[in-house]
Amino acid sequence: LTMSVINNQMSERNLKIDSKVYEYLFKYYSSDVKILLSAMDQLDKASLQSKKAITIPFVKKTLRL
C-alpha cells in the first residue's frame, strides 16, 4: 500500500521510477509514507537540477545512505 501511494504521487509528477528504487527506499530509508514522500520530493528536485534519473545509486548519493 505504501509503495502504491508513493508510486501514484510520482506518476502525477510524470516521474517514472523503477520499482526497485521504491523497494530500496522502503527497506533502507523508511516505511513511513510522509517520510518517503518527503524523500521523493527531495529526489525529484535533485534529479531536475542534475538532469539525472532517479536510480538506486542516485538515491544513495542524494539521501546519503
Q: How confident is the model at residue 65 (pLDDT cuts 50, 70, 90)?
A: confident
- Closest to 13 in 3D by CA, of 49, 43, 52: 43
Read off the pTM.
0.82
In the chain, how many domains are there?
1
Domain range for 49 is: 2-63
Residue 17 CB neighbour total at 10 angstroms: 21
Q: What is the 3-state secondary structure (H, E, C) of 7-58?
A: HHHHHHCCCCCCHHHHHHHHHHCCCCHHHHHHHHHHHHHHHHHHCCCCCHHH
Quick one: pLDDT at residue 1? 64
pLDDT tens, position by position, 1-39: 677 888 788 888 888 888 899 899 999 999 898 999 899
CATH (domain of 15): 1.10.8
C-alpha to C-alpha distance for 13 and 11, rounded to whole angstroms = 5
